[in-house]
Amino acid sequence: MIDCDIHPSIPDLKALLPYLPGHWAEMVQTRGMDELNAISYPAQSPLTARADWRPASGKPAATLAQIRSECLDPFGLSIAICNCLYGVQLLFSEDMAAAFAQAVNDWTRAELLDRDPRLRASIVVPIQSIERSVDEIERCAADPRFVQVLLLASGDQPLGKRVHWPIYAAAARHHLPIGIHAGSNYHNPPTAVGWPSYYTEDYVAQAQAFQSQLTSLICEGVFNKYPDLKLVLLESGWTWLPAHLWRLTKYWRGLRMEIPWVDRSPADIVRSNVRLSLQPTDAPPDRAGLERIIEHLQSDELLLFSTDYPHWQFDGLAAWPDGLPKSLLRKITLDNPRATYARLLEPVR
């Protein structure tokens, strides 16, 4: 089993000090910098950590021992991909963001990848600067245990916009999928109609953010320019995908004159280039419903197994959603992740 979305926590900002350049380590102390924890996952919210994965003190999934005993071992994982959600993207200074992104990646390598051969990681990039994001990709890509570039679902600009393309060029060059994870830098309101009152709305709105990004990436022509680039939507939910593609494809038929470079239907592009992690599965109440949605997707290659550990998406070991056909088990837990993450096939060390 390959788990494509787990979330180790940086224990606290002090843990990064050994990995920060001297100036920035000093700034953390001198300026009294606090944690970089985004409001996307409030510390005590039930979703942020399942009750039985919440330690008596400290953060969930903050030590290798926790990750092993709660996730790697019980789920029988051969590989798990770490997507570190630390609020580097929220910073406004590109210098500061570049330093912290580098520290997060180096911490991940030293504290996790070097200590358990089952772990892989995504490259956190300082999206505040496209140039420095490319530099960070180049710096980390030499290590085959970095298997993906990690972006957030909401940022300053839609991800299809051409300013981002050097990131996609670098990712394609190194056979790294672009992983977009739920979350925002909160530089724009979390919804198209402003700031919500409730955290519930923020989390529901993640699905709409992914829909907007998918529209942008397809319509701007990213997959025409980089036909081998894989895009993975992480913790996006996925049952919204057919309805979104029906709408987008209808508008593509009506408005092709605006985007003549999009020479295939959006639904085709998704089937060849886009993948989605399994959890959360926002499932229909009828047991047969999930099978219908797989039928609507017209592909069994789109879903990648994930637990979303330590987020609370299911209880016990029930990461496989009720009603999802068992015939897809091998595809979703093994074949699809391997086909998506080319680097999983490369020897490590």
Partner 1 sequence: MNVQLRPDTARTTTSRLAIADCDIHPAQRTPRDLDPWMPQRWLDHRETFGAARRLGMQSGPAYPKSQPNASRRDALPPEGGRQGSSLSFMQAQHLDPNNVTLGILNPLGSGQGVANPELSAALCHATNEWQVAEWTSRDRRLKASVVVPYEWAEAAAAEIRLWAGHPDFAQVLLLSRTAEPLGNRRYWPIYQAAAEANLPVAVHAFGYGGAPITSTGWPSLYIEEMTGHAQSSQAGLTSMVTEGIFERFPTLRVIMVEAGFAWAPPLAWRLDKIWKTLRAETPHLKLLPSEYLRRQVWWTTQPMEEPEPRTHLLDTLGWMGWDRLLFATDYPHWDYDDPAHALPLPIPETDRQKFFLGNAQAVYGT
- Identify residues 94-113 at the interface with partner 1 (CB under 8 A): none
Asked if 161 touches partner 1 (CB under 8 A), the answer is: yes
Mask: binding to partner 1, 217-246, rule CB under 8 A, as x and -? --xx----------------x-xx-xxx-x
Q: Are 295 and 330 in contact (CB under 8 A)?
A: no
Q: Which CB sits closer to partner 1, 8 or 242?
A: 242
Q: Which of 159, 176, 276, 319 binds partner 1 (CB under 8 A)?
A: 159
Binding status of residue 8 toward partner 1 by CB under 8 A? no
User: Is 192 a binder of partner 1 (CB under 8 A)?
Assistant: yes
C-alpha to C-alpha distance for 126 and 134, rounded to whole angstroms? 9
Within 13 Å, how many C-alpha atoms sit on residue 60's CB side? 24
323 binds partner 1 (CB under 8 A): no
Of 267, 269, 319, 344, the one binding partner 1 (CB under 8 A) is 267
200-219 residues in contact with partner 1 (CB under 8 A) are 200-201, 203-205, 207-209, 211-213, 215-216, 219
The strand ranges marked E within 74-124 are: 79-82, 119-124
**Separation CA 222–CA 217 (nearest Å):** 6
The CB-of-224 to partner 1 minimum distance in angstroms stands at 14
Q: Is 283 in the site for partner 1 (CB under 8 A)?
A: yes
Q: By rule CB under 8 A, what string of x and - marks binding of each residue 46-65 to partner 1?
A: xx------------------
Q: Output 213 or 340, the one with its CB closest to partner 1.
A: 213
With CB under 8 A as the contact rule, the residue among 116, 156, 228, 263 that binds partner 1 is 156
Task: Compute the distance between CA of residue 231 and CA of residue 150 in angstroms, rounded to an integer.
Answer: 10
Q: Cα dist. 87→39, 183, 190, 312, 320 in Å?
A: 9, 9, 15, 20, 30
261 contacts partner 1 (rule: CB under 8 A): no
Nearest-approach distance from CB 70 to partner 1, in angstroms: 18
Give Rg (Cα) of the chain.
19
| Interface region with partner 1, contact rule CB under 8 A, candidates 13-21, 89-97, 104-112, 194-202 | 194-202
Start-to-end CA distance of the chain, whole Å, equals 21
Residues 6+ apart with CB under 8 A from 21: 99, 102
Binding segment toward partner 1, per CB under 8 A, in 2-10, 70-78, 224-232, 249-257: 249-257
Q: How many residues belong to the site for partner 1 (CB under 8 A)? A: 71
Cβ proximity to partner 1: between 63 and 216 the closer is 216
Strand partners, 180: 151, 233
**Is 168 strand, coil or helix?**
helix
Least Å distance, CB 117 to partner 1, is 33
Alpha carbon distance 332, 192 (integer Å): 33
Q: Based on CB atoms, which residue is closest to partner 1, 107 or 309? A: 309
Contact mark string toward partner 1, 29..48, x via CB under 8 A: ----------------xxx-
Sign of the torsion angle spanned by Cα atoms 59, 61, 62, 68: positive
Tokens 């550990």 appear where?
309
* 128 vs 74: CA distance, rounded Å: 38
Among 23, 115, 247, 330, binds partner 1 (CB under 8 A): 247
Nearest to 62 by CA among 126, 105, 6: 6
Q: Which is nearer to partner 1, 179 or 337 (CB)?
A: 179
- Amino acid symbol at 214: L
